[in-house]
Chains A and B, each alone.
Chain A
Amino acid sequence: MSTDLQTPAPAATQSQNDDILLSVKDLHVWFELKKWGFSHVGWVRAVDNVNFDLKRSEAIAIVGESGCGKSSLMKTLLLLNRPREGQVIFEGKDISRLKGKELKWYRSQVGYVQQDPYGALPPFMPVHRILDEPLVINGVKDKRERQRRIRTALEEVALTPVEDVLNKYPHMLSGGQQQRVVIARAMILEPKLLVADEPVSMLDASVRVEILRLLRKLQEEHNLSVMYITHDLSTVRFFSERIFVMYAGKLVEQTHIEGLLDNPLHPYTVALLTGTSEPDAANARKLKEVPPGEPPSLVNPPAGCRFHPRCAHAIAGVCDVDEPPDFEPVPGHVVKCWLYKEGRTSYPEA
């Protein structure tokens, strides 16, 4: 980290970026690999040089396959991981330098909705206690005030009548109800940012839409910023305005949702979209084209573009040598791919 990046931005810049809630700059999350518990072997580059801004009351989706680093990115935002390099700036403050009260304040500003609702709830606590915990930890001393907020939170996620739920243990609730409790817990401290890690992937298809609608409703009512992390492109459209595609620790494409679906630019995005199933009987007989090979090792990522070993359009001598910078072939549509160096604005047909 260079020193001038650590100094808080001058007031002028701050007012200029007033609608930016969270700004991720040059973020690297690397995990050290050790042999025998001490000798250094290498680094797992889970998140490598990621930059983006998140505006207030904006929802962004991060898509990518398993192991692409999206969960590491999310955990860094939740301060469950420490970044190796780079900054996450939340309302003008670098979160990795927060301590004491400010750290507590930051944690209360970020809600966390997890993938597996059953695992996310302590099985030995009844619902009222689960919701009480964040309040107690964040210093809401008045018991009546806490009870009022628990009720409000439960009503907001439509777990009514509240009395029926309060004394139940997580295993007594259905998957959908459990996820509502998780959302209520994430919302109970009235956060400004909600990090949702595949919030519907473990739920029945019938419940998914309701949960997504609920998240959408909460986002609108509370002017929440939402980071929605998923590997399932079919749910993205539901409430995200912007979508980031992540591959091997890098954001390879950033754009608005329509831009992505109508005009995918990165070869990996195209492959992802092809892989998405539509419920159509004809699909049963169709074999989809999938990029060959496996996602690369994050310990020894390929030189140049990390996708080049699997890419049908790889340009020898370029893609496997130099890492592609951000190109913006269409305004508001950023892509890391050498194909767009020459001003191409759409994906080349095969």
Chain B
Amino acid sequence: MNLNRFREISRYPSAIVGLVIILILVGISIYTVIALPYSETVVKWRGGDRIWQDNPRTVPPAWVNYFRSEKLPESIILSSSDEGVEKERTPLNDELTDIVITFEFDYTADEFPQEIILSFTSTYEQKSPYISLTWKTPDGREINVGDFSIDRTASRRLSQDDKLTKKLDGQTAEIGLFADPNSEELKPLKGTYQLEVAGLTFEPESDFDVKMVIYGKVYGLAGTDHLRRDLLLGLMWGTPVALAFGLIAAVATSVLTMIIAATGSWFGGWVDGLIQRITEINLMLPVLPILIMVGVFYSRSLWLILGVIILLSIFGASIKSYRAIFMQERESGYIQAAQSYGAGNFRIVFLYLIPRIIPILIPSLVVLIPSFVFLEASLAVLGLGDPLLPTWGKIIDDARTNGALLRGLYYWVLEPSVLLMLTGFSFAMLGFALDRIFNPRLRGM
């Protein structure tokens, strides 16, 4: 093999673009695998609301604000156990203690937040602390949000508090608490808000902490899904999975197909006949239904599906075209010369026959990679995605089952789709250029 041929890539700008995208994808994959370990990711992705409870539900990525005139709010998370949050303890007597927690934050977005949730943790023996919540708006209004005693752990969804809604003239908390009373339109008042949590504990050792989450309408680099999961994690893990899947499937099928075709055409006779018959039968087998059956009845593990795909693709149509080339080559002079100086069957197949079709193999292998990536995505969309690993296809599947497009959550479908398309595009660009480099006769066509 002449390595100089690879240097010719620099003459094809499209190939360079493709190569750069591939390198970026590979870089992301390496980073992902190192920075976000597999075991952690699997746990996180399955984790449910516990792990992701501070994330807003199905919101687009934060950078959409750059393209909007009306800015969407980001989440505001404040906790009394954090630094920078005021917590005053004033003991009143042996038993009673007055605790005042003040959350202060600026609100600058043009839209209302998604939801407000307060969660409490308290320590006490018998008597639970009693608290009173006061909401202070930038224009000086004070709204009593509620007075109640709190259990050891408790959370309160202000948006679902009917009493509060009544108090706010029928508006739910995330709107009523932020709305500008002087504006004709319903829009939030910008400025510094305060939530004062004034509490009374009835035991000397008793204490409580409060966490306030004002869920925004944008999140992170990739947004979130219906389970509040950060899509970035899924998209990033999807990259190494997709590349590994495509690469392993493409390399394994091409190389094995090539070896089988070479062996069959070299030995001829019943070996060749058997391979041809297996190929013909295999070509008639419906791949997708078989994969669906494997997924439904046996296992949906990505690597098992990969194995089945490889097994079904080995005896593919390319055996026929490779065989046509090999049948021609086996009669050629240099093969006969090799036999005459004593080259064995193994040597002839691997060192004389196979190198002849490597120029055809390399470009087709590169173009084959994305087709397997797409196949994996299609399987995931059909609900046969790996149960543990996040993949691009599974994200699309989640979006589909949750009606993302109907609900206008385009980011959810577009992000994995763009990554899939980029992958296909980059490998196709590189593959076409390699085809022209390795098979110069095609250049004029």
Inter-chain contact A137/B341, CB cutoff 8 Å: yes
* Interface flag for A95 (CB, 8 Å): no
Cα distance, A107 to B341, chains bound together (Å): 5
Inter-chain contact A122/B352, CB cutoff 8 Å: yes
Q: Which of B334, B343, B355 is the one whose CB lies under 8 Å from A137?
A: B343
* Interface flag for B183 (CB, 8 Å): no
* Interface flag for A269 (CB, 8 Å): no
Q: Which of A114, A122, A125, A134 is the one whose CB lies under 8 Å from B341?
A: A134
Inter-chain contact B334/A121, CB cutoff 8 Å: yes
Q: Which of A79, A114, A125, A134 is the one whose CB lies under 8 Å from B333?
A: A114
Within 8 A of B (CB), among A123-139: 123-125, 133-134, 137-138
Contacts of B340 in A (CB 8 A): 78-80, 107, 110, 112
* Interface flag for A104 (CB, 8 Å): yes
- For A103, A104, A124, the residue with the greatest tally of chain B CB atoms inside 10 Å of its CB is A124
Inter-chain contact B334/A134, CB cutoff 8 Å: no
Cα distance, A15 to B336, chains bound together (Å): 34
* Interface flag for A214 (CB, 8 Å): no
Within 8 A of B (CB), among A273-309: none
Closest to B336 in A: A80
Q: Which of A37, A115, A122, A169 is the one whose CB lies under 8 Å from B334?
A: A122
Inter-chain contact B333/A189, CB cutoff 8 Å: no
* Interface flag for B144 (CB, 8 Å): no
* Interface flag for B339 (CB, 8 Å): yes
Cα distance, A133 to B342, chains bound together (Å): 10
Closest to A110 in B: B340
Q: Which of B1, B334, B351, B356 is the one whose CB lies under 8 Å from A120?
A: B334
Within 8 A of B (CB), among A95-110: 103-104, 107-108, 110
Contacts of A115 in B (CB 8 A): 333
Inter-chain contact B341/A108, CB cutoff 8 Å: yes
Contact (A112, B334) CB under 8 Å given A122-B352, A137-B347: no
Closest to B342 in A: A107
Closest to A122 in B: B334
Cα distance, A124 to B352, chains bound together (Å): 9
Closest to A129 in B: B351
Inter-chain contact B355/A112, CB cutoff 8 Å: no
Contact (A114, B342) CB under 8 Å given A119-B332, A124-B1, A124-B355: no
* Interface flag for A320 (CB, 8 Å): no
Contacts of B356 in A (CB 8 A): 122-124
Cα distance, A185 to B355, chains bound together (Å): 20
* Interface flag for A156 (CB, 8 Å): no
Within 8 A of A (CB), among B329-373: 332-334, 336-344, 347, 351-352, 355-356, 358
Contacts of A133 in B (CB 8 A): 338, 341, 343, 351
Contact (A137, B337) CB under 8 Å given A122-B352, A124-B1: no
Contact (A112, B342) CB under 8 Å given A124-B1, A124-B356: no
Closest to A118 in B: B333
Contacts of A185 in B (CB 8 A): 337, 341
- For A75, A120, A125, the residue with the greatest tally of chain B CB atoms inside 10 Å of its CB is A120
Contacts of A120 in B (CB 8 A): 333-334, 336-337
Contacts of B336 in A (CB 8 A): 75, 78, 80, 112, 114, 120
* Interface flag for A116 (CB, 8 Å): yes
Cα distance, A119 to B352, chains bound together (Å): 13
Closest to B339 in A: A80
Contacts of A104 in B (CB 8 A): 342
Closest to B341 in A: A134
Inter-chain contact B332/A137, CB cutoff 8 Å: no
Q: Which of B333, B338, B342, B343 is the one whose CB lies under 8 Å from A119?
A: B333
Contact (A116, B342) CB under 8 Å given A124-B355, A137-B347: no
Closest to B359 in A: A124
Cα distance, A238 to B298, chains bound together (Å): 75
Cα distance, A132 to B40, chains bound together (Å): 54
Closest to A126 in B: B2
Cα distance, A103 to B355, chains bound together (Å): 27
Cα distance, A350 to B111, chains bound together (Å): 116
Inter-chain contact A119/B341, CB cutoff 8 Å: no
Cα distance, A251 to B343, chains bound together (Å): 31
In the complex, how many angstroms separate the beta carbon of B99 from the nearest chain A beta carbon? Answer: 82
A-B contact pairs, 23 of them (CB 8 A): A78-B339, A78-B340, A104-B342, A107-B342, A108-B342, A112-B336, A112-B340, A112-B341, A114-B336, A119-B334, A120-B337, A122-B338, A124-B1, A124-B355, A124-B356, A124-B358, A133-B338, A133-B341, A137-B344, A138-B341, A138-B342, A185-B337, A185-B341
Contact surface of B with A, Cβ cutoff 8 Å: 1-2, 273, 332-334, 336-344, 347, 351-352, 355-356, 358
Contact surface of A with B, Cβ cutoff 8 Å: 37, 75, 78-80, 103-104, 107-108, 110, 112, 114-116, 119-125, 133-134, 137-138, 169, 182, 185, 189
**7 other A-B residue contacts (CB within 8 Å) besides A78-B339, A78-B340, A123-B334:** A75-B336, A80-B336, A114-B337, A119-B332, A119-B333, A134-B342, A185-B341
6 tightest A-B CB contacts, nearest first: A120-B333, A119-B333, A107-B342, A134-B341, A112-B340, A122-B334
